[in-house]
Amino acid sequence: MARPFKKSQESKPSPRRTATNFTKLAGADVPQEPTQRLHKLLAVAGLGSRRDMEKLIESGRVTVNGEVAQLGAGVTSYDVVRVDSRPVRLSFVPELPQVLIYHKPEGEIVSVDDPEGRVSVFDKLPRIKGAKWIAIGRLDINTSGLLIFTTSGELANHFMHPRYEVEREYAVRIFGELDDEQMMQLKQGIELEDGLASFDSITAQGGEGANHWYQVILREGRNREVRRLFEAFQMPVSRLMRVRFGPIALPSRVKRGGMLKLEQKQVVDLMEWAGLELPHTPLKQLNQREKDKATAVFTPKVRKRRGGVLEHPPSERDSEGRAVVGNKSESRKPRPSTGVKRKPAKNRRIRE
């Protein structure tokens, strides 16, 4: 008896892949979704601060769907965004950023690029994939203390933008001693070359001999502002150390040159303080070993660093796609011949 024919199964439609900013739905109507600012998403991706991303867009190095992006442009997850012709993965769903605390010693600069080749704090930062460390505020080469790094451009902007007036607290040692009238003047304001400046509070902390310590708090970060305020009374600052920036205080266990990564719960508290959107996904569960490692203070090692996207202009390419340096195009050089002939393998015929 012949076998009955199998009933033909109806073909089920394959599930549609979720489109990202790398893909476009070909031949289909793209669903409407609210747009998000391009410079904001680039900052969240860790390419730099919002101001840096605005400069990057103005330079014409960013394209959206093959067209040069304009400042203030909005994009969705269905748009293809490229920087210097390279696709960029943008996160439209907020992710928990990373925050790093560093006890900066004197003698290091807070700059990505330095023509003099001095030691930079960026030389010691651990490598991260798909993001970039952003320094929250700056400290000059002769100032030590708390320095914060994050992968979130929005969080860095909340700390540094003048409109938020985030407190900075410093421990200052000066050569001399202030009287009550001078301390009152420092709180009321002193006219500097770039405008009126003052301390929110100043408290004497004692001292020995001609050196005296003071604790000061201010809400702006102008260049060398603390030093210039004391120099207005002919009292030079012999030591300056930042001990607090906003809600983050320098832990006593983080000694000079040491780093500490904030825990996830601490980062969540920091995002809530800044009023930023939190990720909807639950926090990653860590075992005891991972928790101990995450909360351990470590001493970073100096490594060779790469500059940010603004420090690396796009390289010119010829018609064959090779990088052009000057008027010559780079190509792979042939390997030099060693002059040694290779011996034929055994049991292999050699054609004449």
Q: What is the mean pLDDT of residues 192-204?
A: 94
Residue 140 appears among annotated catalytic residues: yes
Is residue 340 predicted with pLDDT exceeding 80? no
pLDDT at 27: 46
Domains and CATH numbers, the chain: 36-87 (3.10.290.10), 99-280 (3.30.2350.10)
- pLDDT tens readout for residues 273-304: 999 988 877 777 777 777 777 778 888 877 66
Q: What is the mean pLDDT of residues 143-153?
A: 94
Percent with pLDDT over 70 in the chain: 77
Cβ neighbours of residue 190 closer than 8 Å, sequence gap 6 or more: 196, 197, 198, 229, 232
User: Which are the contacts of 315, defined by CB distance < 8 A and separation ≥ 6?
Assistant: 323, 324, 325
User: Does residue 55 carry a pLDDT above 70?
Assistant: yes
Residue with more model confidence, 90 or 326: 90
Q: Identify the active-site residue in 29, 52, 123, 140.
A: 140
CB under 8 Å to 160, separation ≥6 — which residues?
136, 137, 166, 221
Residue 95 to residue 279: CA distance in whole angstroms: 5
pLDDT at 91: 77
Q: Which residue has the higher pLDDT, 183 or 331?
A: 183
pLDDT tens-digit profile of 6-20?
Answer: 555 555 555 544 455
pLDDT at position 347 over 80: no
pLDDT band at 39 (very low <50, low <70, confident <90, very high): confident
Whether 255 contacts 101, CB under 8 Å: no
Q: Stretch 115-138: mean pLDDT, rounded?
A: 86
> What is the DSSP code string of 132-158?
--EEES---TT-EEEEEEES-HHHHHH
Whole-Å CA distances, 38 to 47, 66, 205: 12, 15, 48
Which of 34-48, 125-139, 220-234 shows the lowest mean pLDDT across its residues?
34-48
Residues 6+ apart with CB under 8 A from 252: none
Residue 321 confidence (pLDDT) = 47
Question: What b/e sequence results for 2-18 when a residue is b if at least 16 CB atoms lie within 10 Å of its CB, and e otherwise?
Answer: eeeeeeeeeeeeeeeee
Q: What is the pLDDT of residue 308?
A: 57
Percent of the chain predicted with pLDDT > 90: 46
